[in-house]
Structure 1
Amino acid sequence: MIERLPPDPRMIALPTELRNAIAQALNTVPETRWLNAARALSEQYRNLQSADAAPIVRTRLDALGYAALLMPATYAQLYGAMHAAAALVPSWQPKTMLDMGSGPGTALWAAIVCWQSLHDLTAWEREPMLIALGRDLARASANPALRHAHWVQRNLSAPIERGITFDLVVLGHVLGEIPPEERGAVVTSAWRMARGMLLIVEPGTPGGFSVVRAARDRLLADGAVTIAPCAHNLPCPLNDDWCHFPQRLRRPEFQRRARGAPSPWEDAKYSYAALARFPPERPIWGRVILEPSFNKAYAEVLISSRDGIVRHRALKRDRDAFRWVKHLEWGQTLEEKP
């Protein structure tokens, strides 16, 4: 039974084709087996000794557990970052894309929603079981670019031949899962291949933000231009805090079962940086980086802006200003200073 939720403009769901394809793949094995695989994977992630020691997907069952447990929220995070970047360069129409460390192709599914101009997709992935599952899922898509995506088994630390370029290059949930000493070289290689935009997405945790921040600093030094989320090309002004954003997701039933989560939705939180070889078409003054708070006296919001980190407060007696701050959304852009 599908639980009916009230309309929410912030809510997204997995594409129907992807949701059905995952459900069909899970139906090829007894439910207890993929549930156990998902729970074992969840336990491995909880017990990681370091952020760069992600569990290895060795079997088809491991891959199914990954799809049930992690793919929906990862899709939401990638979609949220892509949607935010695309909004600031509306006339940019990328045609080719490379997804580095693709897993089962989650970023490919999100990208074809946000950039319908894409017609040539390439996925690099180390684990053959994730490649096999990614190909199976892609066959369910009506999008020819996704159905005919080029899958390559590849370790990102391997040398990359020069001359390979793509309009869009994505590093989604990748940098945080490789040794810190290898991240700089991967970012440099990704930027060299990106003739348009490089998008980096990590979980919305202090550790994930730290990885994104370091990559952004490196790319700015190489001449990249920030598209999102920042309103500037200066070093991040945050101190003792981390920048992250939520993407509300309607959970598919198999994810709810894999997580043992009764709620029909979640806010999948992510940190990201979209950098390009061109400036944004819609320059912004700032972006809301935390959900507004309010009490009986005032409403307050935290904004990352061209003027630095701004804590904007509106007194309740100024009804219009109070209401405006109260109804701002986390992640919303502001074209002018309030």
Structure 2
Amino acid sequence: MNVPVRPAETLRDALAALLDGLPSRQAAQAVDRLIANYRGATPTDTPILRDRADVAAYAAYRMPATFEATHSALEAFAQAVPEWAPGSHIDVGGGTGAATWAVTATWPGERSVTVLDWAEPALALGREIAAANPALRAVRWQRSRIGSALTIESTDLVTVSYVLNELTAPDRAALIDAAATAAQAVVIVEPGTPAGYTRIIEARDRLITAGFHIAAPCPHSAACPIVPGTDWCHFSARVSRSSLHRQVKGGSLAYEDEKFAYVAATRLPVSPAPSRVVRKPQIRKGQVLLDLCETDPSLRRVTITKRHGDMYKAARDADWGDPWPPDTRD
């Protein structure tokens, strides 16, 4: 009997096997350096991942979080284009391939997949980890410099996860333009920081200029209603952590919350959410406060009380990042 592959669980098991036997101090030192690079600026001519120890530490530290954040973004995109599934996928700057796992979790089954990255150790380890996922066994792992000279073959979907921070502004612009030229759909994920949000807005603007429609998170393709410098749009994904993962990261909790910003855009017709919950709902006695980004475009806080009946129950179940009212499409 064929047992369905659950990408999140399979990925956690593969990472646990990968880290078995790796000296914890060596992994922790690599993680410290990776955190510094992740939070700072990295020259475009210096790959962050230098050897297998770096890659193993990266996989333990970042891959589960990248998977969950990208999966959340892809799920929101899939809700806006429910009749479509990508037949081909290129993951730009994909490293060990977390976004490819997220795509298989969103749209099960095999497809043509290429991962582009300039760090050969990351590609090699990504290939090794992907052996656990039948949908990824035929992936092309291709070494390529991510910058202004990058060419992207024609494809249905391009993902760019936690990459823009590593690039100069001209290289970021060139990458977005290349993705827009090559793909029917582009999904970009960045850290949920003010700087990450700024990079997402820059990418969003370029995609709109290229003729794309915004599928998520925004319920519109107009300008973002947030006044620059006053706030930033971001979301949160819960990440389960194995005991080995907690050991490498120096934490004790069984989970962490990954804050991320994203844009999902396409040339396809879209049915975006009527509005989206852009902050954690505030549940109070007899009422729920929801901060919404609406189609107008505008930002508005609404109060849902018990008098709203079923809508109140739905509001109590609503999560940060959900469409509102709840999406009832299959």
TM-score category, normalised to shorter length: 0.7 to 0.9
The separation in 2 between residues aligned to 1:206 and 1:161, in whole angstroms, is: 29
| C-alpha distance in structure 2 between counterparts of 1:193 and 1:134, whole Å | 24
Aligned to 1:236: 224
**Distance in 2, Cα, partners of 1:122 & 1:160:** 14
Q: Distance in 1 between matches of 2:132 and 2:312?
A: 48
**1:102 counterpart SS class:** coil
* Paired amino acid for 1:301: L
Aligned match of 1:56: 48
Give the Cα separation in 2 of the matches to 1:52 and 1:235. 31
- State which drifts further: 106-115 or 291-300: 291-300
The whole-number CA distance in structure 1 between the counterparts of 2:151 and 2:49 is: 27
Determine the structure 2 residue equivalent to 1:89. Answer: 81
Gaps of 5+ in 1: 1-12
Mean Cα displacement is larger for which, 87-96 or 121-130?
87-96
- Verify the 8 A CA contact 1:122 1:149 in the aligned structure 2: yes
Instruction: Name the SS of the counterpart of 2:94 in structure 1.
Output: coil
Aligned to 1:79: 71
How many residues are paired up?
A: 317
CA distance in 1 between counterparts of 2:317 and 2:16 reads 37
2:102 — aligned with what? 110
Return the offset for 1:297: 8.4
Unaligned ranges ≥5, structure 2: 1-5
Select 2:289's aligned residue among 291, 300, 307. Answer: 300
Given that 2:131 and 2:137 are in contact with CA atoms closer than 8 Å, whether structure 1 keeps it comes out as yes
Q: Is the 8 A contact 2:225 2:299 kept in 1?
A: no
Matched position secondary structure for 2:279: coil
**Does the 8 A contact of 1:75 with 1:110 survive in 2?**
yes
Q: Does residue 174 of structure 1 match 2:163?
A: yes
RMSD: 2.4
Q: Is this contact kept in 2: 1:93–1:118, CA < 8 A? A: no
Deviates more, 1:302-311 or 1:51-60: 51-60
Provide the identity percentage. 32
Specify which of 201, 217, 222 is matched with residue 210 of structure 2.
222
Q: TM-score scaled to structure 2, two decimals?
A: 0.88
Counterpart residue identity of residue 26, structure 1:
L
* 1:69 CA drift (Å): 0.9
Please name the residue that 2:192 is paired with: 204
Alpha-carbon distance between aligned partners in 2 of 1:111 and 1:257, rounded to the nearest angstrom: 28
The AA in structure 2 aligned to 1:228 is: A
For the residues of structure 2 that align with 1:74 and 1:266, how far apart are their CA atoms? 12
Q: Deviation per CA, 1:197-219, whole angstroms, max 9, x where unpaired?
A: 11111111111111011110111
Matches of 1:310 and 1:25 in 2, distance apart?
45
Query: Is 1:20 aligned to residue 16 of structure 2?
Result: no
Q: For residues 43 and 216 of structure 1, what CA distance do their matches in structure 2 show?
A: 27
Structure 1 residue aligned with 2:277: 288
The whole-number CA distance in structure 2 between the counterparts of 1:22 and 1:334 is 36
